[in-house]
Amino acid sequence: MPTPSPRHAQDPILVALGNAIREIRLEAGMSQEDLAHGSQIDRAYMSSIERGRQNPGIISIARIAGALGLAVSELMRRAQI
């Protein structure tokens, strides 16, 4: 299991982003494993992102958005950040 981001784990912004990713993924009928694979991200790391425990970089966010079929701006809008 990935180590949580030491300074930012459970920050409200990361929790909102993780919740949005999870909601969109579920709406799309996609498993977490499928999203992780499509994003080129380890499944355990994806789980940690969805729980707001990781502070993903822009490349990871762009890959996640792409795998969900969204622009990064739409993902951020859905997360209300």
Catalogue all structural domains in the chain, each as residue range(s) with its CATH number: 12-79 (1.10.260.40)
Longest dimension (CA), the chain: 32
Residues 68, 75 contacting (CB under 8 angstroms): yes
pLDDT given for residue 2 in this prediction? 82
As given in the structure block, the two tokens for residue 61 are 């966010």
Which element (helix H / strand E) includes 30?
none
Confirm whether pTM is higher than 0.85: yes
Question: What contacts 4, CB < 8 A, 6 or more positions away?
Answer: 10, 48, 53, 54
- Tens of pLDDT, residue by residue over 26-39, are 999 999 999 999 99
pLDDT at position 1 over 80: no
